[in-house]
Structure 1
Amino acid sequence: MARATTATSCCTHHLLPLLLVALVAATTTTTTNHAAAAAFNITNLCPFTVWPAAVPVGGGMRLDPGTSWALDVPAGTAPGRVWARTGCSFDARGGNGTCLTGDCGGALSCASYGEPPQTLAEFSLDQPNGQDLFDISLVDGFNVPMDFLPELNQGGTPPPPCSKGPRCPANVTAQCPGELRAHGGCNSACRVFKQDKYCCTGNGSITCEPTTYSLPFVRMCPDAYSYSRSDASSPVFTCPSGTNYHIIFCPPLDLTSSIPAPIAAPDSNKQGKVIAGIVISVIGSTSVFTIVTAYIIIRRRTRRHQHHEVHEEQEFEEISFQGMPKRFTFQQLQEATDRFRDKLGEGGFGSVFVGRIGDERIAVKRLDRSGQGMREFLAEVQTIGNIHHINLVRLIGFCAEKSQWLLVYEHMPRGSLDRWIYHQQGVVFPSAPPPPLDWETRYRIITHVAKGLSYLHEECMKRIAHLDVKPQNILLDNNFNAKLSDFGLCKLIDRDKSQVITRMRGTPGYLAPEWLTSHITEKADVYSFGIVVMEIISGRRNVDSSRSEESVHLITLLQEKVKSDQLVDLIDKHSSDMQAHGQEVIQMMKLAMWCLQIDCKRRPQMSEVVRVLEGTISVETNIVHDFVAITPVNFGVNEIVASAPPLASDISGPR
């Protein structure tokens, strides 16, 4: 199980000693007499379902809480590994699906290794010295706690001369450094940074040592490999060939906590009987007390949960559904999405899946709840459902069943705008990537986004600030007509209030300067719109760390280019059509700069932006060419009219 040999493949079988031994076993011609298969008992003690996988034997299966999987592993299996997959969804036949962690190409029965992050149990059985070699590895990251222990004999001890097995019962994810966090687990530093010092490759293989990022792994799971180096101190465990093993997911922190310590027998049999009687009485009384207490606690929690669900259902029945979009059952949406099989994407509030109801394709967003009540959620649905505009994604319906909250939107076949304006960087197409969008298409998309925002800001009963305007939230139909999506961040602003005080939200790189003060109006959307316009016409991201230091930040670059009269340098160089319309594109840049004024009062209303795009008015000429704020000065919020935040029954913050 060799360590990684390149910085980009740091998460492979890494135990060099085990691989070398396996290689010797493969080349030797000596026939041993101790070959014996091993039985692996794989148990799930997690409070959730896992899908363990075993390679090269066993494949994989579903394992509900409290259940076990008996696996026979042939003698000589080397190298092998077992891991837990989490967050899986497979089709009705169980053959294809996806997992949040440990996925092996969508197969239920794995024939290949899983995708990190994943906690690994690694082994090489029946080696030439009559030993099994085994370990727990965190080189592929961490997803669930795990024990890898030899089965005890009748005396309650491992078979001699068997060493103890490795344990990793702590939840490493809870202490995972922010840079390594992943959905469902904690990545390794090697996988995230792909540098020699984290992967123990290249020059780093000579001086490879634990790093700051490996400290949580070392501290919480000292029995496990926590970085890629293999040396004499590596935690490899051994047992005689033929030993059976127990792999436990989410094991108890202390294996001995529920086992009474053995009592030494005194010289007097009578005294021993008295002591034994006392001990048995104490243990019996304690056990009864513990069981009764646990029963009372569980009953109270169950009643509280049932009361909460009944209260929510009562709230649901009391709410009027007049003006609400269509209500779906959870079972209907399960069937419409084939049990949430095809994921379109994942955002701050949940995952989006493609589905079909009748002849219409739909997009179903499965929401993550965060403290909202049923009444607040349904009030949001009612408000969003009453917003109808050709340039806003249409809400078709919703589902609200106990813990299941879902929103059903129209499906936009060409996906989000970011796929089309960044020259498809990192996007794999089945054939050649499409050509860059022409000027006419980009102009139309900008106009559609402006009209959608103008409707939200000025044509609804209350002004609605979107607060997360970015290319990922602009969706395209087959004809490249654009619609704004994702109203989960929306905030309603009463017409008699000038600002709303709110906590920071949205996406870094698209936030207006006044977010530093937290006094927000719909003009924050105007600033974000200006950034999106610049991304569309330049064909690049606002913040792009792959570029030279002076070009990383697009808006800073715009600030420099306009002062040196070199705006033409920012036109998308991948499109000859954009170059041919250079003067029109520069006029669009001037509109973007009007929107990017640091003082929010100097920015236009979105209705003014629409009129500029339609040719009925001209762009403001008195523009201050400073677009990036360093300190909270001159944001146009000096005379704040402090207001209470809108009620959650309007449109609340992120879900």
Structure 2
Amino acid sequence: MDNKKNPWLMLSFFFICLSLNNHLSLGADTISANQSLSGDQTIISNGGNFELGFFTPGNSSRSNYYIGMWYKKVSLKTIVWVANRETPVSDIGSSVLRISDGNLVLFIESQIPIWSTNLSPTSSGALEAVLLDDGNFVLRDGSNKLLWQSFDNPTHTWLPGAKMAYNNRTKQNIRLISWKNTEDPAPGLFALELQQITSSYVIVYNKSQLYWNSGPWDGKIFSWVPEMRANYIYKFSYVSNENESYFTYSLYDPSIISRFVMDISGHIQQLSWLESTKQWNLFWSQPRTQCEVHAFCGPFGKCNQQSLPFCSCLKGFQATSSNSWNLSDFSAGCARKTSLQCGNDSLANGKRDKFWEMPNMKLPQNPQTVAFGSSSECESTCLNYCSCTAYIYDNHCSIYVGDLLNLQQLTSADTNGGTLYLKLAASELSDSPPSKKRMKLLLIIGITSVIVLFASISMCIWQRKMSKRKENRQINKRNQAHRMLHGESHVQELIDLGELKEEDEKGLDLPFYDLESIRVATGNFSDENKLGQGGYGPVYKGKLPSGQEIAVKRLSRVSGQGLKEFKNEVLLIAKLQHRNLVRLHGYCIEGSEKILLYEYMPNKSLDFFIFDQKQSMSLHWEMRFNIILGIARGILYLHQDSRLRIIHRDLKTSNILLDHKMNPKISDFGLARIVGDRQTEAITSKVVGTHGYISPEYAIDGIFSIKSDVFSFGVVLLEIISGKRNTGFYKSEQAMSLLGYAWGLWTDNMLMDLMDETLQDTCIADQFVKCLNIGLLCVQSNPSDRPTMSIVIKMLDGETVNLPAPKRPAFVIGRDQSSSTSSNKPESINEVTNSLGAR
């Protein structure tokens, strides 16, 4: 068709050209003075790291749109900056982001501006807004002078390279403010800001209540955030001058995608993207527990660290906004279901308000002390005072007026709580006294039960006297059958719950113990028998009727992670038998109780000795070398010689227990994973373990293998011979960890400086250097460079001293980034021991 004869085609072409001239081309990184952004158009940073345009948050069905920025290369859409976070638009087709009067402005349909950069008009030539590849959205003039940047106006995300600053001239803060909830980016209740006077960061609730403090900057980390010591991904910097004070960070590996977030949960979180699992990995978070966040559950909400969700309403209360709770926004708290009578006996059939007893509670702040001597007087005072909502009585009376905030349910093992008496309407409590007939019936039943009980006891005594030996044999057989029956039934109970598989039950030869027998063995879990508190509950010393001493691990948490640990312990250790692994004697499942029974280790854990100046003196060199060798043999059994191929994933000094002869035994298999016979590695979306012992490929990419355990072993070995923690501080300013410190001494040929001072009289020099060499080989960055445990044992056991020189360890900060060895670094242990002998 001849275009000259088709005017409609020419007209359409004209309008398309006009539109392209006024709007952005797909993939551009700039909004120029004569361009705009609307509809589905976006701009993309030059390197393709970030994208900016209209978006709808979360899974919201509402037509609320915002101008925001997200990662282009992350498959899970993650918003890092929002412009109009308080004023959404409903129609992106008629909403336009463009440059107007020297500002970047968002207009809605009626050309009303709803968001602007709020700059004074400038006449410095044409302006342009550019999305940079570090995530900074900037407005600049024709001479590239920066007029405005998103880095100075963050929302809830702090990107590498940006500043968290305090302007010493204007006295203004750059603050991170959480979203209101997962579907509303409006400013929430939690904010992170810098306190210039103390050089520390704080989290503030509702612009006024400070509830977390980082501690002051000491030159390397914030003193109350010890996790930063093991930070091998991020480089932190703090600067203070007459103009500003600010904190910034960068990545040692720029290819890692990472962000720092003020979350709706009231936590600050540092996360990195795991491409292998398509998920964000939480690197560290503060405060450490959810219930430490101020007023997280709102008025009359109760926080429980052992339950999900963490928040629930008190008895007689219901969520103020169920929709908000569904979006993890608990700030509105709970409201009463039934109004209080407030002393008016004419209401609710004349029934007065009553009190609900709440034991083991972390009590709210700001009680008002009342001068009354008895608990009944205290109760009466609160009952007759309409504004009183609760009271406590602990040798003195205190009442609470108005909303109750920061209530937390503590575990039975936590003795720091108290009993709170909550005022409720009478209808919320069952207070009808039992009738006389019911009382008489209960009395008859009680007397009858006592008579039957005494008769049964007498019968048992008589039978035992008649045939004691025969009866004992029958009891033993019956108990054995009873135990096997209950063991199988309780395993089947877990199978039915989906916690164990049928194939796991096969070959499970582990006795079941009833809860009552464990109570007897531990003195009803008395404090006198308490050995310590682990991550999943307290551990008690106990004694079986046979006289055998045991360690009883009582899992107090009922989270999914705790159940998974319990399953791992029951199934894995029951099938593992090695002199350097802790032996599991039995287990118990009754109601909410989940208990494990181990062999008792009288000398506690390895960290108790090596990190204590006094206790470490009892560990001479021969003993330490034997402990190292025993740990290595235990790991080799897990990796190669057991019926299952197991990766422990949480090897550390506190998980190495010592028996009465100081033989090491590896414990705590809650995080262990079984892999196939020929499988060398696996991937997880949730990185677990302990900072300082986790290998780099596991921490960064979620990849774990037998070489991950080798890395952890190397850290433990270096800790044993040095008496220093990996995450500790050392005299050298170039080292932030034991690995960096040891590597510096290795390259400087000052090997014996690493030795624990208590070993000077007993240490064998060539064995010490051999251990240092092996330790550094185990913590090399590349997993393929690390030896297997079979090779480690050959190196430890063997007479040869010609070991390979290690390459640069993982997580060494401050040294030259080259992995090549320095010219003065020893090439073999022969050379090192010769030089030591010449000193």
Residue from 406, 410, 423 that aligns with 2:612: 423
Q: Which residue of 1 aligns with 2:514?
A: 329
AA in 2 matched with 1:325: L
Alignment partner of 2:810: what SS?
coil
Residue from 397, 400, 403 that aligns with 1:166: 400
Distance 1:603 1:330 in 2: 46
Q: Which residue of 1 aligns with 2:539?
A: 352
Output the TM-score relative to the length of structure 2: 0.40
Residue from 443, 446, 450 that aligns with 2:628: 446
TM superposition shift of 1:345: 1.7
TM superposition shift of 1:584: 2.5
Distance 1:409 1:150 in 2: 52
TM superposition shift of 1:608: 1.0
**2:768 maps to 1:585:** yes
Deviations along 1:204-256, one digit per CA (max 9) or x if unpaired, are: xxxxxxxxxxxxxxxxxxxxxxxxxxxxxxxxxxxxxxxxxxx971636xx68
Q: Which residue of 1 aligns with 2:694?
A: 511
AA in 2 matched with 1:315: D
Alignment partner of 2:560: what SS?
coil
Stretch moving more, 556-565 or 610-619: 610-619
**2:669 maps to 1:475:** no
Residue from 244, 251, 261 that aligns with 2:422: 251
**2:725 maps to 1:541:** yes
Mapping for residues 355-374 of structure 1, pairs under 5 Å: 355-357=542-544, 358-367=546-555, 368-371=557-560
Distance 2:566 2:579 in 1: 24
Distance 1:487 1:420 in 2: 22
Mapping for residues 520-599 of structure 1, pairs under 5 Å: 520-545=704-729, 550=734, 552-578=736-762, 580-599=763-782
Q: Which runs of 5+ in 1 are unaligned?
A: 1-44, 49-64, 67-83, 88-100, 103-116, 127-131, 133-146, 159-163, 188-246, 260-308, 426-432, 636-655
- The 3 A distance-change label for structure 1 pair 350 and 546 is farther
AA in 1 matched with 2:765: G
Q: Which residue of 2 aligns with 1:390?
A: 579
Mapping for residues 168-317 of structure 1, pairs under 5 Å: 170-172=404-406, 249=420, 251=422, 312=493, 315=496
Q: Which residue of 1 aligns with 2:192?
A: none
Q: Which residue of 1 aligns with 2:381?
A: 150
TM superposition shift of 1:434: 6.9
CA contact (8 A) 2:730 2:741 kept: no
CA contact (8 A) 1:330 1:401 kept: yes
AA in 1 matched with 2:612: H
Q: Which residue of 1 aligns with 2:619?
A: 437
CA contact (8 A) 1:467 1:491 kept: yes
Residue from 473, 492, 498 that aligns with 2:674: 492
AA in 2 matched with 1:387: L
CA contact (8 A) 1:354 1:363 kept: yes
TM superposition shift of 1:370: 2.5
- The 3 A distance-change label for structure 1 pair 119 and 497 is same
- The 3 A distance-change label for structure 1 pair 619 and 348 is farther
Q: Which residue of 1 aligns with 2:116?
A: none
CA contact (8 A) 1:438 1:575 kept: yes
Alignment partner of 2:602: what SS?
coil
- The 3 A distance-change label for structure 1 pair 121 and 451 is same
Distance 1:376 1:422 in 2: 27
- The 3 A distance-change label for structure 1 pair 311 and 610 is closer
Distance 2:729 2:412 in 1: 21
Distance 1:385 1:149 in 2: 57
TM superposition shift of 1:550: 4.9
CA contact (8 A) 1:423 1:436 kept: no
Alignment partner of 1:150: what SS?
helix
Alignment partner of 2:612: what SS?
coil
- The 3 A distance-change label for structure 1 pair 510 and 582 is same
Distance 2:491 2:747 in 1: 64
Deviations along 1:79-129, one digit per CA (max 9) or x if unpaired, are: xxxxx9966xxxxxxxxxxxxx89xxxxxxxxxxxxxx9968574738xxx
- The 3 A distance-change label for structure 1 pair 484 and 169 is farther
Residue from 801, 804, 809 that aligns with 1:626: 809
Distance 2:542 2:621 in 1: 33
CA contact (8 A) 1:118 1:185 kept: no
Q: What is the identity percentage for the equivalent residue pairs of Structure 1 and Structure 2?
A: 32
Q: Which residue of 2 aligns with 1:406?
A: 595
CA contact (8 A) 1:173 1:186 kept: no
CA contact (8 A) 1:474 1:484 kept: yes
TM superposition shift of 1:583: 3.5
CA contact (8 A) 1:315 1:374 kept: no
TM superposition shift of 1:478: 1.6
**2:308 maps to 1:125:** no
Distance 2:724 2:564 in 1: 42
Distance 1:525 1:560 in 2: 24
Distance 1:481 1:310 in 2: 32
TM superposition shift of 1:169: 5.2
AA in 1 matched with 2:581: L
AA in 2 matched with 1:125: A
TM superposition shift of 1:545: 4.7
Deviations along 1:298-333, one digit per CA (max 9) or x if unpaired, are: xxxxxxxxxxx9993783999656432111111111
- The 3 A distance-change label for structure 1 pair 314 and 350 is same
TM superposition shift of 1:354: 0.9
Deviations along 1:241-273, one digit per CA (max 9) or x if unpaired, are: xxxxxx971636xx68989xxxxxxxxxxxxxx
- The 3 A distance-change label for structure 1 pair 360 and 125 is same
- The 3 A distance-change label for structure 1 pair 439 and 520 is same
TM superposition shift of 1:171: 4.9
Distance 1:310 1:435 in 2: 46
Deviations along 1:187-219, one digit per CA (max 9) or x if unpaired, are: 9xxxxxxxxxxxxxxxxxxxxxxxxxxxxxxxx
TM superposition shift of 1:423: 2.5
**2:575 maps to 1:381:** no
AA in 1 matched with 2:606: L
CA contact (8 A) 1:546 1:552 kept: yes
Name the Cα RMSD after superposition: 4.7
Which is richer in strand? 2
CA contact (8 A) 1:326 1:396 kept: yes
Alignment partner of 1:327: what SS?
coil
Q: Which residue of 1 aligns with 2:105?
A: none
AA in 2 matched with 1:365: K
CA contact (8 A) 2:776 2:809 kept: no
TM superposition shift of 1:352: 1.3
Q: Which runs of 5+ in 2 are unaligned?
A: 1-300, 305-314, 317-356, 389-397, 429-489, 820-839
Q: Which residue of 1 aligns with 2:530?
A: 343
Which structure has the greater CA radius of gyration? 2
AA in 1 matched with 2:673: K
AA in 1 matched with 2:749: D
CA contact (8 A) 1:509 1:542 kept: yes
AA in 2 matched with 1:507: T
Alignment partner of 2:744: what SS?
helix
AA in 2 matched with 1:394: R
